[in-house]
Structure 1
Amino acid sequence: MIGEHVVVGYTHDSGGREALAMGAAITRVTGGELTVATVYPPKSPGLAVEAQANLAHAAMRLGDVPAEYLAFESRGAGRGLGVLSSRIRADLVVIGSAAGGQHGRISVGSTADHLLHLSPEAVMLVPDGYEPPEDPERLTLMYVRRPQADEAVERVAQAALRLGVPLRLVTLDLRTGEDDRLRDDLALAVRLAWESSGLEAEAEIAEGFDVPAAMQAIEWLPGELLVCAASEDAQAHRVFVGEAAVKVVRASTCPVTVLPRGYA
């Protein structure tokens, strides 16, 4: 299950603090390891010192929460977090929303953009101002029928079973006129969830003229966690999100996790 080893991309701002709180909440539930990392550019001794200072701030915020703290040198934050997560065999990278975005939503900055198109591990993005609850309340998978999404159904169903929370499968209907096909696809996904975990998943089709409108039509619990599968264009064992999935991420009011292709 995702969360056995979590890397938090920490920056000394609100996004970094929210990612830190989310990473700590995840490992508290899963019992996994937590690594807090700050990335700084090569040949920048001043920024290397600043990175260590940022990690000291993170340690103060976490208090007694067990964690490892790493300053990591890389040409970019997204690249560095991806390389580090592979190197230490983490299974999830958590980052906050980029500065300047809408409160309660996810702003995709350069770090998130790199991870959403090349990360070797699952990526979680946390909305601006988000405060994680004590426990998750439900896992929701954004479902579109294709091999990666079917694979995600099985994985997320197993995670919901282990966490003891309900599973919901949601399909967006952007007024395509294919209502019957979408219902049939969703019914097959519900059956797949049952066969792989014994869980009876909720199923929902959300209608809207565009992705933000459809997302707004969905009811979200305070402890909801949203999961998306990688695009068919993703390389094996890499995250890659398409245009529609990026719109889902930006419209979400809860943390979003994107699985790499071939996640196991």
Structure 2
Amino acid sequence: MTVVVGYLAGKSGTAPLNLALGAARTLRSSLTVATVVPKPWTTPSPARIDAEYAAWADQLAADSAREAQRYLATVADGVEVTYRSQAHRSVSGGLVEVVEELDAELLVLGSSSDGQLGQVVVGSTADRLLHSAPVPLAIAPRGYRSHASVLSRITCGYPGTPEAADVVKRVAGLAEQFQVRLRVITFAVRGRTMYPPEVGLHAEDSILAAWETHAREALAQLRAEGAVGEQALLQVVSGNGWDQALDAAEWEDGEVLALGTSPRGDIARVFLGSRGSKIMRHSPVPVLVLPG
């Protein structure tokens, strides 16, 4: 068993390494640091250019492995770490190849450097993998570093719909595999322009309260049907906007937020809907997205 983390020298930072290391410790598995280097085109070119291109790709892989090794040597006690270079036309395609060849349990990426520290920002590689990863995909917030050496809890975002119960069951199975506690949350969000001004805040409060009652009933039904065990924590968290709702959820150090969709035919691929994308954007903890 292994956890694969995508890493590139000078770009990724240590956030994905920290998350992947915590996951590997939790799963009691090894860690594979994978760097995808560009694959040469097959069109004829002068031999000197081919040699220079190959030397540059080899140097990129070596620099990435050296940089990751320098950091992990100080924090990866007890975890077997290997380094892998994969040539491919795209980073996402190369990482999928590594995951499939190694039969990995989890793929970890960092956030794009475009976002703020502490924010989960989906870059171009993560965006492609959200639609093609064959295993759960974990994305670390920018600058992520946990004081916990292992993952502490998995929180499952549950929209309260019957078809999403399958996601909760799969996350519960994942929590059991990781041997961590499980929490299931339904977010009740009042949009900043939820209703026109003439309707009034009282009507908004009434509608939100009704939705919270429905959400609690849906969560109770999950337990009654055996989708989650008696030890799972079930919560409804509300807020004015997704940012306030996510902030109100009281996150633990070492916690991850799991999202997913119901299965889409026979294709085991990650796919995230609009609601999940909003939750991911405001999550203060790493996000784990399950294949559909």
> If the TM-score is normalised by the length of the shorter chain, which range does it land in?
0.7 to 0.9
1:99-248 to 2 correspondences below 5 Å: 99-132=113-146, 133-146=148-161, 149-161=164-176, 163-175=178-190, 177=207, 178-192=211-225, 195=226, 198-230=229-261, 236-248=267-279
Of residues 238-247 and 127-136 in structure 1, the stretch that sits farther from structure 2 once superposed is 127-136
The AA in structure 1 aligned to 2:220 is: A
Match of 2:201 in 1: none
Check conservation: 2:157, 2:258, Cα contact below 8 A. Answer: yes
User: Over the residues paired in the alignment, what is the CA RMSD in angstroms?
Assistant: 2.4
Decide which moves more: 251-260 or 37-46: 37-46
Partner SS state of residue 61, structure 1: helix
Q: 1:67 to 1:126 in 2, by over 3 A?
A: same
Instruction: Measure how far apart 1:231 and its partner are.
Output: 5.6
- Is 2:107 aligned against 1:93? yes
Name 2:80's counterpart in structure 1. Answer: 66
Cα distance in 2, alignment partners of residues 223 and 258 from structure 1: 16
Compare CA radii of gyration and give the structure with the larger one.
2
What secondary structure is seen at the aligned counterpart in 1 of 2:284? Answer: coil
| Contact 1:139 1:168 (8 Å CA) reproduced | yes
Superposed CA deviations along residues 63-102 of structure 1, whole A, max 9, x for unmatched, are 2641221111122212221232122211211011111311
Distance 1:52 1:148, change over 3 A: farther
**In the alignment, what sits opposite 2:28?**
31
Distance 1:13 1:186 in 2: 44
- Percent of matched pairs sharing the same residue: 34
| Contact 1:148 1:232 (C-alpha < 8 Å) held by counterparts | no
Distance 1:170 1:199 in 2: 15
Asked if 1 retains the 8 angstrom alpha-carbon contact of 2:13 and 2:143, the reply is no
The answer to whether the 8 Å contact 2:9/2:60 transfers is: no
Corresponding residue number in structure 1 for 2:18: 21
1:11 is matched with: 8
Whichever residue aligns with residue 256 of structure 1, its letter is V
CA distance in 1, matches of 2:149, 2:177: 16
Contact 2:111 2:121 in 1 (8 A): yes
Q: 3-state DSSP class of the match of 2:131?
A: helix
SS at match of 2:119: coil
How far 1:147 moved relative to its partner?
A: 6.4
Are the equivalent residues in 2 in contact too, given 1:141–1:153 (CA < 8 A)? yes
What one-letter code is carried by the residue in structure 1 that aligns with 2:241? D
Deviation at 1:157, TM superposition (A): 2.3
Distance 1:113 1:213 in 2: 25
| Residue 143 of structure 1: how far off its partner (Å) | 0.7
Distance 1:189 1:164 in 2: 20
Q: 1:150 to 1:23 in 2, by over 3 A?
A: same
Secondary structure in 2 matching 1:220: coil
- Aligned to 1:174, the other structure's residue is in SS state strand
Structure 1 residues not aligned, in runs of 5+ = none
The TM-score normalised by the length of structure 2 is 0.79
Structure 1 contact 161–197 (Cα < 8 Å) conserved? no
- Whether 1:41 and 2:56 are equivalent positions in the alignment is no
Which amino acid is the alignment partner of residue 154 of structure 1?
K
Partner Cα distance (2:268, 2:91) in 1: 20
d(CA) in 2 for partners of 1:237, 1:51: 30
Query: What letter corresponds to residue 19 of structure 1 in structure 2?
Result: P
Work out whether residues 158 and 196 of structure 1, in 8 Å CA contact, stay in contact via their aligned partners in 2: no
Letter in 2 for 1:203: L
Stretches of structure 2 that go unaligned for 5 or more consecutive residues are: 41-52, 195-206
1:212 Cα deviation from its structure 2 partner? 2.2
